[in-house]
Structure 1
Amino acid sequence: MIGQDDSRLHTAVLVGPEGERRRARKARRQAAAKVETDARRHRKVQARAKWEAEQAERRNTSYLPPAGEAGPAALRTPGRFRLPKHQDTSATLAGQYPFLAEAGLGNQGVFVGQDLYSGGSFVYDPWVLYQRGLITAPNVVLAGIVGSGKSSLAKSLYTRSLPFGRRVYVPGDPKGEHTAVAEAVGGRAIILGHGLRNRLNPLDEGHRPSAVSDAEWAMQVASRRRDLIGALAETVLDRPLSPLEHTAIDLALRDAVRSAEVPILPMVVDRILSPNTADDEDGRLAEDGRLVGHALRRLVAGDLQGLFDGPSTVRFDPSLPMVSLDLSRVAENSTLISVLMTCSSAWMESALSDPAGGQRWVIYDEAWRLMQYPALLRRMDAQWRLARHFGIANMLIFHKLSDLDNVGDAGTAMRALASSLLANAETRIVYRQEPDQLGSTALALGLTGTEQKLLPGLGTGQGLWRIKDRSFVVQHQLHPAELAAFDTTGRMTSDSHEFRNLDVRSGIPNDRRDS
């Protein structure tokens, strides 16, 4: 018994403290719950007091009715408030809205100069604008009277494009203005004219594009040669060829190719005038091609001889940064210029059609002289229509847009082709124009009345740029080195300088009179 009581006592001693700890934890939990409940009740009391204060403030505040006060306090007139319309110039309104300006074309491309409306830099690049979807045709039309600065702009556009990997082709330079530029940028100017050693064989194969099979290349060369001789004959005859004349040319060219790997024009002329008996079954082929033969004979034995009557002494190198055909030595003969342009266009066509040729500028200077010949105009139109396919940007340079009136008669195919060149150019740059040219210029380019009034007052190097539906007035800026290289007034300034140094009475230079 004693042992059992001691055991119970020992158990009570062990269990007692644990029960006290449970009661303490329970008490602490209850105390914490009471504190949280009191805090929550206090917050609710504060929120209710704040809400009651806001409600009391709203009840004590008076507001105007939604429709305003009635009676004289409304400060209203019986009629509606109206303001008269006001019109003013953009220069005056710019003071009222000084921060509104055209956003520009972005900063990617070739720097041209300053946008005179926004004051910012003006940058232009037809390939960049085409990639961004701002234009769909990369061709450019540039017009301006003599001394307005259009030639400097054209030279700046294509020379500043060279560091971007572009190349420049000038298929005809009647004044020789681009020769110095071509030599300065590491290119080449091919000078043709009577008395010079340079000779151009229009039947050369030309540059062979990459990834073209032998069979395809042979067909392209044969087709280009036929088209070229036909175009040369049409240019000299100043009329389209008949089917019989086309046949005479085709048979003569085929016979010449059989006898020489690279035929020359005298071979074709001889075979047109004296055809092969195997080709002339009825004996009438010589009569059919007689006029064509004598027309082409002018290029080998007549007044146009010496330039096309032998193998080429110059080569067209499409890898050069710039190639220009200088026609200044034959500028007095418009027929010879058109023939040379036709030959050079055929030269360049194979290079332009090369998919690996890259992006290129093709410059048509003094376009009014070049567009007078149907064969050449058709070649230009084809290159303009395929500009995106070839990756080229054509530039047509005029003095005035009324020069297009000299291209064929109204309603003829030639006039339609000339007009299509403007339609396929979404960049139109107009420099200063004479007042009597404003109507025709505005009509040809679709200018607004405000744009038309700007043209007579433009200064040197200032031009109106119409890029699709957007307009800019830009001041072209030149580096001093560019100004010296692009100068087209050297003879005028040098002559005037010498004249100023002459003594009026004796004609002796003033700096030499004492001696």
Structure 2
Amino acid sequence: MSHRPARRARRASASPLFTPHGTDRASRKAARRQLAEAAAKARTEAAAHTSGTGAAEHEMPAPIFPPAGRPGPASSHNNKIKLPAHRMTTATASGAYPFLAEGGLGTEGIYIGRDVHAEASFCFDPFALYGKIEGFTNPNVLLAGVIGQGKSALAKSFALRSIAFGYRVYVPCDPKGEWTPVAQALGGTSIALGPGLPGKLNPLDAAPRPNSVSASDWAGEIRKRRLLLLGSLARTVLGRDLLPMEHTGLDVALDAVVARAAARGRTPLLGDIAATLNNPDELDRVGGVMSGRLGDASRDLAHAMRRLVHGDLAGMFDAPSTVAFDPNSPMLTIDLSRLGGSGDDTALVLAMTCASAWMESALSDPNGGRRWIVYDEAWRLMRHPGLLQRMQSQWKLSRGLGIANLMVIHRLSDLLTAGDAGSRGRALAEGLLADCSTRIIYRQETDQLHAAAALLGLTSVEADAISHLNRGRGLWKVAGRSFIVQHLLHPHELALFDTDARMH
């Protein structure tokens, strides 16, 4: 058996090319020194060559086109270049251009704050937007948000800033008395109603007749409004709709009271209506042969109306008005804070119904200009179909009357408390929402997201956004367009609108 000698392993390296194997250390050191000297010499020669001929070699060539640009039809002068249109789906566009933001509603209107996504100012005026944005069919606004997120500050600052545009602001129900300082700061009027207070309003006051309406037609309009008011009050107290004979009894009693008041030269009062309903013989006599037993059928109605005269609302709406309506006042508020602390909202709703009826004298004036009607704490009114019906009538006439209604609630689910699915109350509440082209949603609790998304048709991104909104930041949905807006307050506004003063 033969054995071959093992070969010595060698590394794959380029070192032998410069210092071959088998040379000693002194030879390798001398080779490196020679290499360094050769490199230095080469650099010196290259520098000398460049300094002598660089100017000629690096001279810039002449331009191909003249300073005016490329001549001919393909020059794209004056931005007239024409390229074929490129079509793509919205899914492709969102991937190709992911950083686009909504352009906003323009600069016309009342300054609100900052558009978070566009990093631009955000202005809003429903009267200016009407007819200019597709789908913006009415000037009404819904504002919802949990307590402490700044929705009241938004409503007040919006009303205050509207005064600078010549608008007037009416607040028919101020259950906390928070609007009184705002009205006083603007030189407006605030009427406080409550037991023992001197303020009185007669909801049966007749509005001034417009010049374009005849006296007979206006008398019929006043009668219709008074009947609507009395029916709303009765339904609120009874907690049900009126029966047919109760409708007739109310109708007959109103005609009898108006006739007696006209003969005496004064305005009819709610006390006169209650007294007539409590007189069955007079009702039967005035009703005539078709009345039947009208007096007996109207007993429940008589007791319901008596509450306004001798019950917890005695002295507020059963006497001549102590305050005349000033149509030139920039702001008018009805302070009902003395009525909202018992836990029973019936008295508050009755007072608001009477106050709003009294305010109709200004709302029906076609020359009254543009006006805001603010329903603060409107969630307390959702359980009363009588008042919802009056509000719906005002919502429907907003364009013809030149008014914008602002409804402030806490949660979107408050609209569902108006009644069961399919009930008249639920239909009225959902109708109010449908007649609001602008919806402003401040932060909602997690358990309210499903109701909010269902009622407003929110996308999954919008539903997630409203659960993480900071104080003063809201989702604005204006005729299908969405914005995240940070409301900004002036220091004077912040001091005037501070609802947490007692907490500090």
Shorter-normalised TM range: 0.7 to 0.9
Moved more, 271-280 or 470-479: 271-280
- Provide the rounded CA distance (Å) in 2 between the counterparts of 1:137 and 1:469: 13
Q: Is the 8 A contact 2:192 2:334 kept in 1?
A: yes
Per-residue CA deviation, residues 112-165 of structure 1 (Å, 9 max, x unaligned), is 001111111001010111142341121111111111011111111121111111
Per-residue CA deviation, residues 393-440 of structure 1 (Å, 9 max, x unaligned), is 111111110112211112101101111111111211111111111111
Secondary structure, in 3 states, of the residue corresponding to 2:203? coil
Partner of 1:293: 302
Q: Is the 8 A contact 2:383 2:417 kept in 1?
A: yes
CA RMSD of aligned residues (A): 2.0
Partner of 1:56: none
Aligned-pair CA distance for 1:281:
4.6
Partner of 1:265: 270
Q: Is the 8 A contact 2:175 2:336 kept in 1?
A: yes
Secondary structure, in 3 states, of the residue corresponding to 2:286? coil
- Provide the rounded CA distance (Å) in 1 between the counterparts of 2:211 and 2:232: 27
Answering whether residue 369 of structure 2 is matched by residue 358 of structure 1, we say yes
Name the CA shift for 1:97/1:299 in 2 (closer, same or farther; >3 Å): closer
Partner of 2:174: 173
Aligned-pair CA distance for 1:316:
2.5
Partner of 1:124: 124
Give 2:355's match in structure 1, choosing from 320, 329, 344.
344
Name the CA shift for 1:285/1:103 in 2 (closer, same or farther; >3 Å): same
Secondary structure, in 3 states, of the residue corresponding to 1:310? coil
- Provide the rounded CA distance (Å) in 1 between the counterparts of 2:209 and 2:326: 11
Partner of 1:504: none
**Higher helix proportion (structure 1 or 2):** 1
Within-5 A mapping of 1:244-323: 244-260=245-261, 261-274=266-279, 275-276=281-282, 278-279=285-286, 281=288, 284-323=293-332
Q: Is the 8 A contact 1:351 1:357 kept in 2?
A: yes
- Provide the rounded CA distance (Å) in 2 between the counterparts of 1:209 and 1:160: 29
Partner of 2:404: 393
**Paired amino acid for 2:286:** D
Partner of 1:438: 449
Answering whether residue 330 of structure 2 is matched by residue 325 of structure 1, we say no
Q: Is the 8 A contact 2:144 2:408 kept in 1?
A: yes
Q: Is the 8 A contact 1:143 1:400 kept in 2?
A: yes
Partner of 1:27: none
Aligned-pair CA distance for 1:248:
1.5
- Provide the rounded CA distance (Å) in 2 between the counterparts of 1:309 and 1:424: 34
Identical columns (%): 53
Per-residue CA deviation, residues 192-212 of structure 1 (Å, 9 max, x unaligned), is 001101112221113444433
Aligned-pair CA distance for 1:111:
0.4
Partner of 1:184: 185
Secondary structure, in 3 states, of the residue corresponding to 1:279? helix
Partner of 1:240: 241
- Provide the rounded CA distance (Å) in 2 between the counterparts of 1:212 and 1:190: 30
Q: Is the 8 A contact 2:252 2:287 kept in 1?
A: no
Q: Is the 8 A contact 1:428 1:466 kept in 2?
A: yes
- Provide the rounded CA distance (Å) in 2 between the counterparts of 1:117 and 1:280: 66
Moved more, 161-170 or 247-256: 247-256
**Paired amino acid for 1:411:** G
**Paired amino acid for 2:149:** S
**Paired amino acid for 1:270:** A
Per-residue CA deviation, residues 466-509 of structure 1 (Å, 9 max, x unaligned), is 1122111111000011111111111111xxxxxxxxxxxxxxxx
Q: Is the 8 A contact 2:257 2:273 kept in 1?
A: yes
TM-score normalized by the length of structure 1: 0.75
Answering whether residue 429 of structure 2 is matched by residue 418 of structure 1, we say yes
Secondary structure, in 3 states, of the residue corresponding to 1:473? strand
What 5-or-longer segments of structure 2 have no aligned partner? 1-90
- Provide the rounded CA distance (Å) in 1 between the counterparts of 2:142 and 2:285: 51
Q: Is the 8 A contact 1:430 1:464 kept in 2?
A: yes
Partner of 2:133: 133
- Provide the rounded CA distance (Å) in 2 between the counterparts of 1:208 and 1:163: 29
Aligned-pair CA distance for 1:280:
5.1
- Provide the rounded CA distance (Å) in 2 between the counterparts of 1:281 and 1:101: 70
**Paired amino acid for 2:239:** D
- Provide the rounded CA distance (Å) in 2 between the counterparts of 1:244 and 1:271: 15
- Provide the rounded CA distance (Å) in 2 between the counterparts of 1:167 and 1:131: 22
TM-score normalized by the length of structure 2: 0.76
- Provide the rounded CA distance (Å) in 2 between the counterparts of 1:382 and 1:376: 10
Within-5 A mapping of 1:474-485: 474-485=485-496
Aligned-pair CA distance for 1:302:
2.4
Aligned-pair CA distance for 1:216:
2.2
- Provide the rounded CA distance (Å) in 2 between the counterparts of 1:460 and 1:208: 46
- Provide the rounded CA distance (Å) in 1 between the counterparts of 2:165 and 2:131: 15
- Provide the rounded CA distance (Å) in 1 between the counterparts of 2:380 and 2:208: 27
Q: Is the 8 A contact 1:143 1:431 kept in 2?
A: yes
Secondary structure, in 3 states, of the residue corresponding to 1:136? coil
Secondary structure, in 3 states, of the residue corresponding to 1:196? coil
Which of structures 1 and 2 has the bigger CA Rg? 1
Aligned-pair CA distance for 1:97:
5.8
- Provide the rounded CA distance (Å) in 2 between the counterparts of 1:425 and 1:370: 17
Aligned-pair CA distance for 1:106:
0.5
- Provide the rounded CA distance (Å) in 2 between the counterparts of 1:209 and 1:351: 11
Per-residue CA deviation, residues 279-338 of structure 1 (Å, 9 max, x unaligned), is 155672321221111111111112331212221112332221111111111002411111
Answering whether residue 111 of structure 2 is matched by residue 111 of structure 1, we say yes
Q: Is the 8 A contact 1:142 1:398 kept in 2?
A: yes
**Paired amino acid for 1:365:** D
- Provide the rounded CA distance (Å) in 2 between the counterparts of 1:465 and 1:344: 30
**Aligned residue-pair number:** 402
**Paired amino acid for 1:354:** D
Name the CA shift for 1:172/1:209 in 2 (closer, same or farther; >3 Å): farther
**Paired amino acid for 1:404:** L
- Provide the rounded CA distance (Å) in 2 between the counterparts of 1:305 and 1:417: 30
Aligned-pair CA distance for 1:351:
2.0
